[in-house]
Amino acid sequence: MAAHLVLIACLVAEPHTCQEIALPEVTFEDVVSCNGNARAKSEEWQGQHKDEYLVIATKCIKNE
C-alpha cells in the first residue's frame, strides 16, 4: 500500500513552535520504502526551507 512522507519541523525563529508538515506529493510504494528514503527527502526539503524550518523527525503514513 502506498505511503507518503510527513515531516516534524520547528520554526527557526521560534524553536518551541513545531508542527507536522505532510508532503502528499512525496509518495512511495509502501511504508518500508518511505522510511528508507525519508532522510534524503527530508534533507532535500530542509535545503529548500533552511531559513524557515528545522526538520527534527520524519514519519511515513499509509495512504488510505
Tens of pLDDT along 5-61? Answer: 999 999 999 989 999 999 988 999 999 999 999 999 999 999 999 999 999 999 999
* Cβ partners under 8 Å of residue 21, min gap 6: 6, 7, 8, 9, 53
Q: Is the dihedral of CA 60, 39, 48, 9 positive or negative?
A: positive
Length, in residues, of the chain: 64
This prediction's pTM: 0.87
